[in-house]
C-alpha cells in the first residue's frame, strides 16, 4: 500500500529536565516510529519559536516537555502551526526500564488506541481525543513501522486526570501485560492556537504545584503552632494560683465528737530511768584487762 498519512511528530524538551523525563522522552520516540528529535530549547526563548522549529523539521505535530524549578514537568501537545494545543502537568512518571514493566513488543509496530467512554461525553475531552489520535497513532504503511499490532495505548479518565498506559497483547490467551511507559496528565488549559492564543478551556480542578507545596507547608506550620499553644496553656496553668474550695458545712453533720479525757496534772517528778550500759562493751573491757594481766605476769 501507499503511505498517505504523512503525520510527523517532533518530540523534544527544554533545558533543565531530569533523567526520568529524558528517559520518558526517549521511550516515546522508540514507541512512535513517525517521531523526530531535536536539540533542547533554551528556556529564555518563547514558545512561539517551536512552530518555526517544527516547520524546519517538516513536522505538523509536536510533543514538548517543559521543565520548571527542576522538579515540575509540563507537557505540550500541539497541532502546528494552526492549533489547537493543550498544556498538561505530568505526574507519576514510570519508564520502560523499570523492573515492574515485564512486557515486550516489536519495535516500530502499530498500536491500538483505547479511550475511556468519558472522552465522548465532554466537548473538551472529545477535542483531546482527536489530538491524541493524530499524535500517538502510527500512520499506516509508514516506512519505519512494522505491519503488526501487538500493543495497546490506553487513555483513562479518573480523578479529573488522564492516565496513560501501554500494554502488550499476548497471542496465546489475548491477555494484557504492561510494557510502559506510564504517566498521568493533569489538564491545565486548551488553547485555540499553537502554543498560545485564546483559551478554549481551563480546568477548574487544577491546582498548581506551587500552591500544593504552599498548602503542605501551611498545614505543617499550623500543627507546630497548635503544639506551641498547648505548651503555653500548660505553663500558664502551672503558674496560676490554686483556687481554694470553700468548706461545705454539711460534711460535719454525721461526725460524732470523741469523748473528752480528764486532764491529769502530775505533781511528783517522774523517776529517772537507770542507765543501762552496753553489756558487750563491758565484756570487751574485761577481756582487755585480762590480756594486760597475762602480759605483765609473763
Structure-model confidence comparison of residues 227 and 244, the more confident one = 227
Residue 259 sits at φ, ψ, to 5 deg, of -70, 135
Residue-wise pLDDT for 24-72, tens only, equals 999 999 999 999 999 999 888 888 899 999 999 999 999 999 999 888 9
Is residue 216 in a domain? Answer: no
Answer whether residue 62 is part of any domain.
yes
Domain that holds residue 155: 9-209
Residue 277 banded pLDDT, cuts 50, 70, 90: low
10 Å CB burial of residue 156 (0-12, 13-18, 19+) is: middle
Provide the pLDDT for residue 43: 80
Q: Is residue 97 in a domain?
A: yes
Does residue 14 lie in a domain region? Answer: yes
Work out how many domains the chain is built from and give that number.
1
pTM over 0.85, yes/no: no
123 belongs to a structural domain: yes
State the pLDDT confidence band at 298, using cuts at 50, 70 and 90.
low
Query: What percentage of the chain reaches a pLDDT higher than 70?
Result: 96
Domain presence at residue 32? yes
Residue 60 lies in a domain: yes
C-alpha cell at 213: 507545596
Three-class DSSP labels, 16-39: CCCHHHHHHHHHHHHHCCCEEECC
CATH for 134: 3.40.50.10480
Q: Give the separation between CA 2 and CA 71, rounded to whole angstroms.
A: 44
Residue pair 153/112 in contact (Cβ under 8 Å)? The answer is yes
The whole-angstrom separation of Cα 20 and Cα 67 is: 12
Give a yes or no: residue 45 inside a domain. Answer: yes
β-bridge pairing 85-94 and 182-193: antiparallel
CB-based burial label for 138 (10 Å; 0-12, 13-18, 19+): buried
Structure confidence by residue, pLDDT tens digits, 87-111: 999 999 999 888 778 888 888 899 9
H helices within the chain, ranges in order? 19-31, 49-56, 123-136, 209-239, 279-297
How many Å from the N-terminal Cα to the C-terminal Cα in the chain? 143
Amino acid at each position: 500500500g501507499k503511505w498517505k498519512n504523512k503525520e510527523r511528530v517532533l518530540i523534544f524538551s527544554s533545558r533543565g529536565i531530569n533523567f526520568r523525563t529524558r528517559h520518558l522522552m526517549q521511550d516515546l520516540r522508540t514507541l512512535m516510529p513517525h517521531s523526530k528529535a531535536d536539540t533542547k530549547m533554551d528556556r529564555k526563548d518563547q514558545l512561539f519559536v517551536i512552530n518555526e522549529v517544527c516547520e524546519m523539521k517538516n513536522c505538523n505535530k509536536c510533543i514538548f516537555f517543559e521543565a520548571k524549578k527542576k522538579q515540575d514537568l509540563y507537557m505540550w501537545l500541539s497541532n502546528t502551526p494552526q492549533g489547537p494545543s493543550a498544556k498538561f502537568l505530568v505526574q507519576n512518571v514510570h519508564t520502560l526500564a523499570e523492573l515492574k514493566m515485564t512486557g515486550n513488543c516489536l519495535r516500530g509496530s502499530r498500536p491500538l488506541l483505547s479511550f475511556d467512554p468519558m472522552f465522548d461525553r465532554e466537548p473538551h475531552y472529545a477535542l483531546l481525543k482527536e489530538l491524541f489520535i493524530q499524535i500517538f497513532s502510527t500512520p499506516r504503511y509508514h516506512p519505519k513501522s512494522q505491519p503488526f499490532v501487538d500493543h495497546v495505548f490506553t487513555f483513562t479518565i479518573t480523578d479529573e486526570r488522564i492516565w496513560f498506559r501501554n500494554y502488550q497483547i499476548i497471542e496465546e490467551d489475548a491477555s494484557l501485560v504492561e510494557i510502559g511507559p506510564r504517566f498521568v496528565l493533569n489538564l491545565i488549559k486548551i488553547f485555540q492556537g499553537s502554543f498560545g492564543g485564546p483559551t478554549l478551556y481551563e480546568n477548574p480542578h487544577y491546582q498548581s504545584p506551587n500552591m500544593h507545596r504552599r498548602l503542605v507547608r501551611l498545614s505543617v506550620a499550623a500543627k507546630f503552632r497548635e503544639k506551641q499553644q498547648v505548651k503555653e496553656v500548660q505553663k500558664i496553668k502551672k503558674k496560676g494560683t490554686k483556687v481554694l474550695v470553700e468548706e461545705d458545712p454539711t460534711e460535719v453533720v454525721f461526725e460524732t465528737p470523741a469523748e473528752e479525757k480528764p486532764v491529769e496534772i502530775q505533781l511528783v517528778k517522774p523517776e529517772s530511768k537507770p542507765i543501762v550500759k552496753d553489756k558487750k562493751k563491758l565484756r570487751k573491757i574485761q577481756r582487755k584487762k585480762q590480756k594486760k594481766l597475762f602480759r605483765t605476769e609473763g
